[in-house]
Amino acid sequence: MSTLYLSMKYPLDNDKVGVVKGDQALARRCYESSLKIKHKTSNASHNTPSQHAARDGGVNVIDTADLDPREEFQDRRVSLIEELEQVQIGEESHQTTNLGTALQPAAKVRILKILKDN
């Protein structure tokens, strides 16, 4: 994904690569329009949306409280399913990773071997 070129590449079923490209001029206009959004006033409920647009120069007035993306996910934070154990996978002391403590001993040995070999 390139934000500089507004493009994104993705694999296709036929082993080729698809590309989605954006329009820089359109993206700039969208950004500039987002800067023009105004807050609702207390008397805004008496006017229709078309009156808002006419009064505000064609810019829709929206409530900024509805724009907070964090509000939807406040109660869905990531939490651990099980306890983790830190294990060293390299020769240096800082080369570590975490494995679940509920792993079977044989699986833990296999995973550690793969990690250390690679």
What pTM value is reported for the model? Answer: 0.35
Q: Which domain holds residue 4?
A: 1-35
For 22: left if phi > 0, alpha if psi spans -120 to 50, otherwise beta; the answer is beta
Q: Are residues 29 and 58 in the same domain?
A: no
**Residue 23: pLDDT over 90:** no
29 lies in some domain: yes
Banded model confidence at residue 97, pLDDT cuts 50, 70, 90: very high
* Token pair of 47 as six digits: 């006017």
**Would you call 26 helix, strand, or coil by DSSP?**
helix
Banded model confidence at residue 40, pLDDT cuts 50, 70, 90: very low
Q: Are residues 5 and 29 in the same domain?
A: yes
Nearest to 87 by CA among 53, 61, 110: 110
Number of domains comprising the chain: 3
* Token pair of 54 as six digits: 């006419």
Question: Average pLDDT for residues 24-47, to the nearest whole number?
Answer: 66
Gap between the Cα atoms of 67 and 95, Å rounded:
41
